[in-house]
Amino acid sequence: MKPVLALIGRPNVGKSTLFNRLTRSRDALVADFPGLTRDRKYGMGELNGRGYHLIDTGGLSGEEAGIDEYMAKQTRAAIGEADALIFIVDGKQGLTAADEMIAADLRQTGKPVFLLVNKTDRVDPDQAAAEFYGLGFTQVFMIAAAHGRGVTSTFEAILDYLKVDYTDEEELADDDSIRIAFVGRPNVGKSTLINRILGEERVIAFDQPGTTRDSIFIPFERDGQKYTLIDTAGVRRRSRVDETIEKFSVIKTLDAIQQAHVVVMLVDAHDVIADQDAHLLGLVLEAGKALVLAVNKWDGLESDERDWIKQQLEVKLPFIEFAETFFISALHGSNVGLLYAAVKRAYQSAMLKVPTSRLTRILEMAVQQHQPPLTKGQRIKLRYAHQGGSNPFRVIIHGNRTDYVPDSYTRYLVNYFRQTLKMTGTQVRIEFRTGENPYEGKRNTLTPRQEHKRKRLMDFVRKAKKRDKK
- What are the residue boundaries of the structural domains of the chain, listed by start? 4-162, 167-349, 352-470
Alpha-helical regions (H) of 32-162: 67-81, 97-109, 125-130, 151-162
**CATH of the structural domain 4-162, one choice from 3.10.20.440, 2.30.110.10, 3.40.50.300, 3.40.50.2000:** 3.40.50.300
Residue 55: the pLDDT is 85
Q: How far is 339 from 437, CA to CA, in rounded Å?
A: 50
> Between β-strands 225-231 and 216-222, what pairing exists: parallel, antiparallel or unpaired?
antiparallel
What integer best gives the mean pLDDT of the chain? 81
What's the pLDDT tens digit per position in 62-92? Answer: 554 433 566 677 778 788 878 899 999 998 8
Distances (CA, A) of 354 to 156, 280, 389: 34, 30, 10
Q: How far is 211 from 249, CA to CA, in rounded Å?
A: 11
Residue 346: the pLDDT is 94
Architecture of domain 167-349: 3-Layer(aba) Sandwich (3.40)
* Helix, coil or strand: residue 163: coil
Residue 415: the pLDDT is 93
With a threshold of 0.75, does the pTM exceed it? no
Residue 39: the pLDDT is 55
Conformation bin of residue 110: beta by default, left when phi > 0, alpha when psi is -120 to 50 = left
Q: How far is 94 from 202, CA to CA, in rounded Å?
A: 56
Pair 164, 214: CB distance under 8 Å:
no
User: Class assignment of domain 352-470?
Assistant: alpha beta
Q: How far is 149 from 119, CA to CA, in rounded Å?
A: 10
Residue 214: the pLDDT is 45
Residue 175: the pLDDT is 63
Do 4-162 and 167-349 have matching folds?
Answer: yes
Listed as ranges, residues in the chain with pLDDT below 50 are 27-38, 64-67, 201-214, 236-248
φ, ψ at 454 (rounded to 5°): -65, -40
Residue 25: the pLDDT is 63
Residue 241: the pLDDT is 43
Q: How far is 257 from 279, CA to CA, in rounded Å?
A: 13
Q: How far is 129 from 116, CA to CA, in rounded Å?
A: 9
Distances (CA, A) of 297 to 82, 188, 270, 300: 36, 8, 7, 8
